Amino acid sequence: MLKQVQHDNDRNMQKHPEYQYLDLVREALEHGIKKVDRGTNIKLYSLFGRQTRYDLSKGFPLLTTKRVYWKGVLHELYWFFSGQTNIKYLVDNNVHIWDDYPFKIFKIKNKKSNITKDEFIAKIATDAGFARKWGNLPRIYGEMWRSWPTRTKRTIDQLKWVMQEMKEDPDAKNLIVTSWNPEYLYTMARNIDASRFPICHNMYQISNRNGKLSLQLYQRSADLFLGVPFNIASYALLTIILAKIAGLEPGEFVHTFGDVHIYENHIEQMKEQLKREPRPFPTIKIEGKLKKLEDFTPDKIILENYNPHPPIKGELTVAGGLYEKKHR
């Protein structure tokens, strides 16, 4: 039995690692349970409890069966990493993957406004006061990672703490950064405190494994078409950056899913992607000094040898978050 398991593992390792993602897509299409998203009423096909693993010594897992928006991956991670919560940084760098959520909040709180999303984003870019008021997404990942709010009004820099803890105790098993704070989420929160963004990347844990830094992400909710390719690249890059700062080699990125799903309006795109053969993964090169958290800036990260298939476009589903209760 053990020999058979080892044989299966060896055979799977010989496949291109991108097939882990493609196999998840195929399984969701063929066996996913049909659900309906409560905020959008869009049907989705859902699996629960899956895991993929990427050995970062064998290439950087930026998917190749469609072009992934690398600039967005890089600037979004820096946005999180530096503790920012206002989309103005992203807008100023022409990254618009987060535009919908602050616009959604603005429309909820300004029901009589006729402003379009394009007009809203233009004001974020050009009006500093408007950006401060309406561009902010409180209790989002950057704040949770770097300035976790406590009942005593102090804040905790979780990312800084885990890096220092690993330095003091390389075998530590408590190196966890969490973004899941019930005080600010859903109907657990007071309405005045509630974040209107759904925290999907609940927590990640890092571990020093014989001189290699590995990272495991637990993601409670994962959009296979648009979100997961981004998430794989983002947290794999985070693993590489933290390993460099710690003076270690990159190990594995382990991606553990709760609910992993395909929205009905992405099914044809997913079928098209399944027809494509993976190509060799690209590589990441780090230029310049990277010895502490503050040293990371996007210009130090160089993506090399990325040769993907063409992009496949799909509509963003602005799902999750705090919805106004419906009266029955």
Task: Indicate which residues carry an active-site annotation.
Answer: 200
CA distance 128 to 142: 20
What pairing do the DSSP bridges indicate for beta strands 155-156 and 201-209?
unpaired
Question: Residue 239: which of 84, 56, 73 has the closest Cα?
Answer: 56
182 DSSP 8-state letter: G
**Rounded (10°) angle between helices 18-31 and 267-274:** 130
CB 321 within 8 A of CB 94: no
Give Cα 16 to chain centroid, integer Å: 22
CB 233 within 8 A of CB 240: no
Burial pattern 247-264, b for ≥16 Cβ within 10 A else e, equals ebebbbbbbbbbbbbbbe
Backbone angles phi, psi at 13, to 5 degrees: -70, -25
Element (H, E) at 284: strand 283-286
